[in-house]
Amino acid sequence: MSNPLVRKLESYVPLSEADRLCLIDVVGPGRMVAARTDIIHEGDDPRAVSVILDGWACRYRQFINGRRQIVSFLLPGDPCDPHVFLLDEMDHTIGAITPVLLGQISGPALQAMTARSPQLDLAFHREALATAAVQREWTISLGSRTGIERLAHLFCELHARLAAVGLAEAETCPMPITQNDLGDAMGQTSVHINRTLQELRGMGLITLRSRRLTIHDPIALARLAHFDSAYLHMTEQPGRAVARRA
């Protein structure tokens, strides 16, 4: 597969061959981060932009008593905020869920690259705006969707994002997150998540087995979730599923 960052940015704007080669060169080969370890901590100085080249990670906040809230999942191709190096310190932690191949782009390198290429500048800005839109949708899920709607929406979203970087096959995609991870993201207990998964299986909508998700009826799952992938702002959205509003 081609570089996932290239694939991700090309889902927003067309890139030239020179742009693609520049991205691959500036990110470098990456380094491995072990599963369930932190990539960067809250309070650290974010001197560079981390890029997920392989594996899954998450952004989270954790209280002193151990309670954790996952605020987003980071997939291959995701830059962990292309403007983070402008801040004095991290306001959240990024942790690896699986083993992660991590690339990094220094702040000066990113600024120089986007100054040379208007298309790359536009692509990174569209990616940042789309990430903000995903966060708004997560807020809507936590505030207005029911438990089963939240989980259905997350599965629709993750499948669409993975499809954009070539990591979904038809209606099947990787799903290495645990029920505890899902609970921390959905604001629910792992027991509640287990019951919701059983309900989705019982409705014939999904199968979750061997760390892979299969969506048997994308249209029905999208309708249940009130999911419309337009908020992902991708110019090409394979298999777009839309929940039509009454």
Examine the domain organization and report whether 22 and 113 are in the same domain: yes
Same domain, 103 and 215: no
The verdict on 117 and 169 lying in the same domain is: no
- Strands 206-209 vs 48-54: parallel, antiparallel or unpaired: unpaired
Q: Tell me, what CATH number does 84's domain have? A: 2.60.120.10
Res. 238 pLDDT band, cuts 50 70 90: very low
Name the pLDDT band for 114 (thresholds 50, 70, 90): very high
Spatial separation of the C-alpha atoms in residues 18 and 116, rounded to whole Å: 11
String of b and e for 93-107 (b: at least 16 CB within 10 Å)?
A: bbbbbbbbbbbbbeb
Residues 123 and 186 in one domain: no
Q: Where is pLDDT greater, at 243 or 13?
A: 13
Helix (H) or strand (E) holding 54: strand 48-54
Task: Kindly tell me the sign of the dihedral angle through the C-alpha atoms of 230, 97, 63, 179.
Answer: positive
Decide if 107 contacts 88 (C-beta within 8 A). no
Please state at what angle helix 190-202 crosses helix 147-164, rounded to 10 degrees: 80
Residue 198 lies in a domain: yes
CATH code at position 201 = 1.10.10.10
Same domain, yes or no: 159 and 104: no
- Side-chain half-sphere exposure of 245, counting CA atoms within 13 A: 1
**Total domains present in the chain:** 2
Give yes or no: residues 91 and 175 share one domain.
no
- How big is the chain, counted in residues? 246
In a domain, 139, yes or no: no
User: 175 and 220 share a domain?
Assistant: yes
Does residue 47 or residue 183 have the better pLDDT? Answer: 183
Q: Note whether residue 38 is domain-resident.
A: yes
Residue listed under structure tokens 């809507």:
140
Q: Is 66 part of a structural domain of the chain?
A: yes
Q: Does pLDDT of 244 surpass 50?
A: no
| pTM, to two decimals | 0.93
**Last residue in a domain, options 63, 96, 127:** 127
Per-residue model confidence (pLDDT) at position 173: 97
- Are both 89 and 189 inside the same structural domain? no
pLDDT digits (tens, 9 = 90+) for 200-217: 999 999 999 999 999 999
Residues 80, 12 share a domain: yes
Q: Are residues 178 and 86 part of one domain?
A: no
**Do both 105 and 156 map to the same domain?**
no
The DSSP code sequence of 67-84 is -EEEEEEE-TT-BS-TTG
Q: How far is CA 197 from CA 152, 156, 186, 187, 220, in A?
A: 9, 14, 13, 15, 15
Residue 43 is assigned to a structural domain of this protein: yes
Residues 6+ apart with CB under 8 A from 243: 222, 223, 224, 225, 226, 227, 228
Asked whether residue 8 falls in the same domain as residue 112, the answer is: yes
pLDDT above 60 (res 123)? yes
Containing structural domain, residue 31: 4-127
Kind and range of the H or E run holding 191: helix 190-202
